[in-house]
Amino acid sequence: MTIANKVLAVNNDLPIRTDKPVHSGKVRSVYWLTEDDSRRLIKEKGYDVAEDSPLAIMVISDRISAFDCIWHGEGGMRGVPGKGAALNAISNHWFKLFKENGLADSHILDIPHPFVWIVQKAKPVMIEAICRQYITGSMWRSYEKGEREFCGIKLPEGLAKDSKLPELLQTPSTKGILEGIPGVPAQDDVNITRKNIEDNFAAFNFKSASDIAVYEKLLKQGFDLISGELANIEQIFIDTKFEFGYVTDAAGNDKLIYMDEVGTPDSSRIWDANEYAKGKVVENSKEGFRQLLLNHFPDPDILLNKDRMDEREALARDNELPESVLMAVSDTYTGIAEKITGEKIVISDDPKAEIIEILRNEYKLID
């Protein structure tokens, strides 16, 4: 069995019973269940959702994306061994702690397999909810150019790269392309201010203006909880992205929940605290892979300049990364997952066959 065979790269071809097209993102694929299967599972499993809620199977992959491209390696490696299982394990860990600490529920109803979530349909809030505890990345690049306002927040003079900010900042951006919002360009991932959200809360899918404060509270609570837990294992939570949505529970109540993933190396920067104390940044997140790509190719502007997207896609398509690079990324993901969860990440020999067997035998979702 080669390493390449242990990678789940294609996750949109499972024979799960569905009457809708499979939706594939950069990393996950979503299979919407039939109405009959959704109702059956809600009843059989006792999920706390309205009896007519649409359910989906969400299957993670081991694909790795960076700079809006999917990367691959030599020897037919179409992803990073253990990455999918590591991401799900970390999210599952944080969502469980959120619930235990009374924060909010998530979209996950059940976890049949380390690669699989059964989720309820949520109406997403169209905001990438970003929290920053340190100045780095895009915020630092703007600051270095002389900008002193970021997402409507005034930044003080004299901040140093990678230093801790005076307070935790919430710096939201758009999720998807939103049309017709004054002062907000119709582009994905555009920085926005709190006033943009207040003035157009319905356009961002908030049910009421008062829910803006609810999402901000959940974002801060979630960040603080993860930050505290990471500090216990000598890691620093630098910044992160959360996503939120609305669902209806079995009693008919609308509620704002966490969705997508939280506190993972894909959605966050996590630094080694001991190394940081010595003045060195050691990434335990995808940022390390991004930096590696910037150093690997002779013209890093291709990766940073949105106007060169065609060249960037060609770079990702036509270049096989060394196996050692993808295995180093695997070590980063599985290593931080094992530190966070306290459990070993097992790299399956044939994850697709395992998923099919469980969904056929235990959930009756495959004929």
- What pLDDT is stored for residue 188 in this prediction? 87
Q: Domain 3-122+341-361: what homologous superfamily? A: Phosphorylase Kinase; domain 1 (3.30.200.20)
Q: Across the chain, where does the E strand assignment appear? A: 23-24, 28-32, 55-60, 64-66, 69-73, 108-113, 116-120, 123-124, 127-134, 149-150, 153-154, 164-170, 173-174, 235-248, 254-259, 268-272, 320-321
Per residue in 95-105, pLDDT (tens digit) is 999 999 999 99
Per residue in 278-311, pLDDT (tens digit) is 999 999 999 999 999 999 999 999 999 989 999 9
Per residue in 49-95, pLDDT (tens digit) is 999 999 999 999 999 999 999 999 999 999 999 999 999 999 999 99
For the whole model, what pTM was predicted? 0.94
Tokens 């900042």, residue located = 169
Q: Is pLDDT above 80 for 3?
A: no
Q: Across 155-213, where does the E strand assignment appear? A: 164-170, 173-174
The domain locations on the chain are 3-122+341-361, 124-277
What is the pLDDT confidence band of residue 195, given thresholds at 50, 70 and 90? Answer: very high
Which residue type, as a one-letter code, is found at position 173?
S
Neighbouring C-beta atoms of residue 240, cutoff 10 Å: 23
Per residue in 134-179, pLDDT (tens digit) is 999 989 999 999 999 999 999 999 999 999 999 999 999 999 999 9
Q: Is pLDDT above 60 for 1?
A: no
Q: Which CATH number fits domain 124-277: 3.30.230.10, 3.20.20.80, 3.80.30.10, 3.30.470.20?
A: 3.30.470.20
Per residue in 113-128, pLDDT (tens digit) is 999 999 999 999 999 9
Tokens 């990367």, residue located = 71
Distance CA 289, CA 282 (A): 12
17: helix, coil or strand?
Answer: coil
All residues at 6 or more sequence positions from 255 whose CB lies less than 8 Å from its CB, including other chains: 104, 105, 246, 247, 248, 249
**pLDDT > 90: percent of the chain:** 92
Q: Output the average pLDDT for the chain.
A: 95
Q: Is pLDDT above 80 for 2?
A: no
* Average pLDDT, integer, range 181-186: 92
* Average pLDDT, integer, range 16-41: 96
* Average pLDDT, integer, range 220-225: 98
